């Protein structure tokens, strides 16, 4: 997904990965704080809700192209 913003370079610089990871955790934290007001949801749960469908989609796409 990051290649959409960075370009077709197969190995973007490490600072781009670090920035993307920090932004992902920051957005997950903000979403976890506002999703279930007045309590909070842990960041790990929010990132799992985002990451699991992405991982499943990537696995399905890879399996479909391998056939």
Instruction: Indicate if the pLDDT at residue 42 is higher than 90.
Output: yes
What is the rounded CA–CA span in Å between residue 8 and residue 38? 43
* pLDDT on residue 64: 73
pLDDT tens column, 1-21? 555 656 666 666 778 788 888
Q: Computed over its alpha carbons, how large is the radius of gyration of the chain?
A: 15
What does pLDDT average to over the chain?
A: 82
Q: Which residue has the higher pLDDT, 25 or 12?
A: 25
Q: Which residue has the higher pLDDT, 64 or 21?
A: 21
**Mean pLDDT to the nearest integer, 31-42:** 90
């Amino acid at each position: 997904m990051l290649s959409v913003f960075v370009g077709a370079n197969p190995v973007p610089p490490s600072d781009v990965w670090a920035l993307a990871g920090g932004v992902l955790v920051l957005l997950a934290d903000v979403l976890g704080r506002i999703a279930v007001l007045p309590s909070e949801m842990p960041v790990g749960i929010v990132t799992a809700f985002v990451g699991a469908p992405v991982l499943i989609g990537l696995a399905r796409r890879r399996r479909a192209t391998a056939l």
